[in-house]
Chains A and B, each alone.
Chain A
């Protein structure tokens, strides 16, 4: 073998090695997926409630505005609802992948039983794909990829009663995708005097939403931005259905709070803040609390820095100027804008530090200094 042929062979070997590397990558990926999908025994087999049957065994999901049309053995966008021979089934009924006892302020719900705890549960799956998701390891996976605990609605109520926890929170991932489980649990909890709160992105159709509102007590909606472009590019969803959801919740009389995660360079313009505030005042009420929360680099947006506190303060100032009575700053522990201020006398109605209530000056739903009624659900 001369030098030329040696170099040629070397080149060919390198080429084969690169190609082989890709093949190995594919094989390893298959093995990895097989490994990841190792908890199949824990899936539920409960028929979903919001769908209609189409021709050829196809079903159309009627839970969220996405309206997935699903063929046999396929799943919807959320990955937790599957067409099994023309029957649409939820795979996560009573399959809880995350369960914690949190302060209600962590949700955040600032005007709902402050200082109490909430038994928080979630299943895998989500019907959007936010690039900043803080719980992507459970929301952006299928139920087989996480370890689930079997927790029936009765079990949830028992856990709450045993620990004297007054509220059940459906949170972390997107509760809309486990609507059936959430509804049944909330209804069961209501029988025993337990409250239910939903922490959601609000991407849900009217019928399931109205059904849900009949059994829950409060809803916190993540309004990710106030532009369709952002929803399309960053969230993989639509803005208008979320705005519709907000209106329905407000009209239903259930307690509503809005969280707006301020992501640097993406949804932090003055004009967007102004448009948001004007819409909330015009379409909902100036009494709806709006939380401007600080973004921390997460999931697919680790390339962005945390939101400067000054930006949050600017957003809050715009909200106050627009007329919102209860704008807050979130994820900045110790900031004075965590407190609830009486819109009449300006005194601190509820003093907070992080998730902790330092002082509560609200008595019988009114400011203890001037008697001004503070909207909310108080103890």
Chain B
């Protein structure tokens, strides 16, 4: 194998290793701190930013002697060996610094991530610059644009590989060990460049790992990790005498369940979602049921573990359909439904002679009969899919997501979803959900959110009621329903539950429905305008999830909270500012002009990708299960763009070509921004729209690849006055970080998906104009 081939292979390996390490550490950190989009964007941004800084630093080393450069390259390769220890030590560090239970404020998790990603980003950031500098520049063996092309091909291959491996086994450590082994080999090679025979270790390691996986799959006792079961998402589980706990990264976020022989607490995204036995009982389902004359069909969407289905089954005339999209929770629910775990036992079935008579003491099961019913069906579908295929005979649809923390869950609280639900309700049916409200005092942010929910519900349903409490319940009813806030009427409707009511029983129900409290809440809501929540403008639930994270007033929380109140125009200006300033600098300076296209490429690429991700979730479902597919399309586009860019660079077509490409990218985004709002409103055509968004993702990937390669190609004859591979690569990553942050924290929550895409289009106009002007003024090579 020639040196050129080896170097090319190494560029591919950079991509593979980077994407594997990125995915593994992203999963790990989100597992530790929670799985909302904000957390995801935070970790990704820190990753890109640190990788970019390492790349810029590596570029500085290029000026030094060969010996220093090789030493630096060795250190970079050795950093691969440290991935596994880093991976192992992170949970320990988190438990020491914060707590093994629950989440940490967003400011703390950001600070933690900065340190946690310091080592994993070394290789991804610095290797490109050092490898190119060490082998490409001096020996003219490989160009920047070709290196970038191979790097992106590596990204795509790595993405595919990790998707495949994780879907089979979900084993992060083996991947990191593999990277460590190859890192050692590469380190040796960096020191002794001619020892190419060591290369054989690379395929051997891959074969060994594959054999291990095949062996694991073939083992007869490995059925607990079979495909499609929730158990394959479980990353940590412990069982001791009478207690067990698990942590999993399901497609819908991080699930933690801690259980002892008497109580069980389930956390979703580091927040306590249900606690058994707890004061937040499943009885709240009785309120919407009481507002339907003789209900027959109940659908509960999500949140299976809180016992609502079990309580509803006490009504013997009721058919209950529990829809659970999350495979981990579904798996727990299915497992426990036969054993009655996690559900409130019937009051009259309890023996009351002493604590020793608790029905679940000393055994895993608690009340086998509660879920063991032919009238209960469990549906493993996204609620949108379920409702699309459901018959229009549902009497009660209960959206069981208290305070949605992700876009996927937030989409169930939009006008489009309410309209879909309305189509499936019977003439007397109701749609209901709860939201945290505050029994004593409701902060202004919370009032804003609740009012937005009321406005959205009112826009769809003719009858709307809001019932106050620590968790207020909002109910929208069809014309034939008996939606009311009158306590007597509700008690009459709930008579089937009779003496089994606890918190909503005769004492408490009058309190919770007291006229004074209803008037008080409505009076407070009247002072807030509220906004109509739609799939295109998901600001309501995004801001809500931010509010949940920053309510304890962390250092950066004030900034986040204040961002919510930014006028739309100022949010747009804030996001355009970096590009505008960079463009201005580019017009004045040749070097800045060289960096502008790659910065724009990064900015454009990641912000567009994140916005499309949000749009995709609006029509397709959860974040993690779709992430690989969407990112894969983007990466394919990126590799294609890099290949095209390399061809054009070799033909010196880049004088005005670069600005033309930038303008075309802006025009494409403009077209997409105009097209998308129409599609997002139509959930009925969601499959076509999914394909459209995937194609759009691939197309938006072409432009950054093309721009980077063309930009690098312009500077092929490297001189001291021209930017080099490392600085270009670093600037690209810094641009990506800026774009990701702007899209997630500012654009998406404040102005919605489609308008944000238009903002990206405007940024392209800035950059394109600047590059055109620069081309004329500076006569770049």
Contacts and interface: CB of A to CB of B under 8 A. Distances in A.
Contacts of A200: none
A12 to B, nearest CB: 13
Interface string A117-152: 100001000000000000101100000001100000
Contacts of A146: 441
A135 B440 contact: yes
A336 B506 CA distance: 20
A316 B262 CA distance: 15
Contacts of B263: 306, 308-310, 332
Interface residues of B, number: 67
Contacts of A137: 438, 440-441, 443
B735 to A, nearest CB: 12
A15 to B, nearest CB: 14
B559 interface: yes
Interface string A283-318: 000000000000011011011111011100100100
Given A300-B552, A302-B102, A356-B505, A336 B358 contact: yes
Nearest to A171: B440
A7 interface: yes
Nearest to A102: B511
Nearest to B468: A100
A28 B354 contact: no
Contacts of A25: 555-556, 558-559
Contacts of B261: 310
Nearest to B101: A305
A18 to B, nearest CB: 12
Nearest to B262: A309
A25 B555 CA distance: 8
B559 A309 contact: no
B517 A100 contact: yes
Interface string B101-131: 1111000000000000000000000000000
A299 B551 CA distance: 9
Contacts of B562: 28, 31-32
B347 interface: yes
Contacts of B137: none
A97 B441 contact: yes
Contact of B502 (A100, A300, A334): A334
Interface stretch (B156-164, B275-283, B661-669, B684-692): B275-283
A180 interface: no
Given A334-B345, A339-B352, A2 B258 contact: no
A19 B751 CA distance: 27
A351 interface: yes
A354 B279 contact: yes
Given A28-B558, A310-B262, A297 B102 contact: yes
Interface residues of A, number: 59
B263 to A, nearest CB: 5
Interface in B497-512: 499, 501-503, 505-508, 510-511
Scoring A7, A339, A355, A356 by chain B CB atoms within 10 A of each residue's CB, the highest score goes to: A356
Contact of B344 (A32, A300, A309, A334): A334
A308 B591 CA distance: 63
Contacts of B591: 1-3, 6
Interface in B345-377: 345, 347, 350-355, 357-358
A335 interface: yes
A263 B98 CA distance: 17
A21 B745 CA distance: 15
A156 interface: no
A99 to B, nearest CB: 7
Interface in A7-62: 7, 21, 24-25, 28-29, 31-32
A378 interface: no
A333 interface: yes
Given A304-B99, A305-B101, A355 B503 contact: yes
Interface of B: 56, 98-99, 101-104, 258, 260-263, 265, 272, 275, 277-279, 281, 344-345, 347, 350-355, 357-358, 438-441, 443, 499, 501-503, 505-508, 510-511, 514, 516-517, 520, 524, 552, 555-556, 558-559, 561-562, 588-592, 595, 720-721, 723, 727
Given A3-B591, A335-B355, A353-B347, 13 more contacts: A3-B723, A3-B727, A7-B56, A25-B556, A29-B558, A137-B440, A146-B441, A300-B552, A302-B552, A305-B258, A313-B262, A334-B350, A356-B501
20 contacts: A2-B721, A3-B723, A6-B595, A25-B558, A29-B558, A99-B516, A103-B507, A105-B507, A297-B272, A303-B101, A304-B102, A306-B265, A306-B272, A308-B262, A308-B263, A310-B263, A336-B355, A348-B352, A354-B502, A354-B503
